[in-house]
Every structure is written in structure tokens, then in C-alpha cells.
Amino acid sequence: MLASSVILTELGLPVPAERAEIPLTPLYLYRRKMIKKTGSFEYSMRALSRIFMREGAKVVLIDELEALTEPGAMGRIMASILNNLPKDTRAVVITHLIHEILPHISMAKVRVDGIESEGLDAAGNIIVDRQPMFNHIGSSTPELVIKKLLGKVRKEELKAVYEEIIAVLEKEREEAF
């Protein structure tokens, strides 16, 4: 929505809001899928450096860069990027690494919002409430994906593997809370 509003403003078109004040601001969009190639980590870091080269406010959207290197390192890298964003920059970062980022981030500059998976519907599809819960860490629920796969598998050996994965993930979730 943020990207759409910025782009519509740049084009001089109305934005989908009852009221909006959107200054003309450079928009930077980084998606793992756009930059996945040989040397993608180095390429990504070079691309992200553009945020810091230009003075003034900007809008930065970063979508799931975590696959570019190991999670612990990427959590610290993303925290450093967020901690050092230029003044008046607005950023939206979509990640599964919030637990790796939080210990390294300045919470005075950041608000964490999350989305929640609610379960599986009758057809085995994951039910996700896409409306973010403000000031809330969302929960990733990989066990729902495994449960979905479990419902479709016939081989007992594979069922046993999926059941063990579900048990481990559920135990980990219980211990986290």
C-alpha cells in the first residue's frame, strides 16, 4: 500500500485514502527475488548502500532478504541498516528474522508489527490474517505447512517424519512462550 501510494503520488494520481499527505520522496524497493543471482549477497549490499548515499527523506521497502546469508548475520546486518537509516526515512521490512534483529535494533526508531496464521481451512489451506497487529511480533507457523503436507501423504515412513517435525515445532513454540 505504501509503495502504491508513493508511486500514485509521483504520477500525480489520487491515492486510495480518505486523506493523505504524501511528499514526493524517492522510493527504494528491495526484494530477494529481484536480486537472486550469483554474488547476490554482495550485489544486495551494494544496492542497499544507495539508501545511504543520497541525502534527504526516502521510502524504503525491503522484502525477505534473509535468504542471502546465514540468519544470525543477516539479522545483525538488517538491524544495522535500520539503525542507520537517514533522517526522515520511512521503511517497511518484511522478514522472518525478527528474533535475530530485535537484540540489535534501536526500538526508539522502530515499530514492530506482525501478522498471524490462524490454522488450516477445510481444504488444507493456511488461513492468514494479513492485517498487521501493531506493536506485536507475528508468529511464523511452519507446522501448518507440515500439517498440510501430512494430510496429503500416504507413505507411513513420510507420515512419521512429518509427525515428528510437527511435534518438535510445537514443543519449541510452547517453550518460547
For position 175, what pLDDT does the model report? 63
Q: How many CA atoms lie within 13 A of 119 on its CB side?
A: 2
Cβ–Cβ < 8 Å for 82, 95:
no
Q: Which domains does the chain have, with CATH numbers?
A: 1-110 (3.40.50.300), 119-177 (no CATH)
Say yes or no to pLDDT of 176 above 60: no
Q: What is the mean pLDDT of the chain?
A: 84
pTM score, whole prediction: 0.72
Phi and psi at 149, nearest 5°, equal -65, -40
For position 177, what pLDDT does the model report? 43
Say yes or no to pLDDT of 140 above 70: no
Rg (CA), the chain: 19
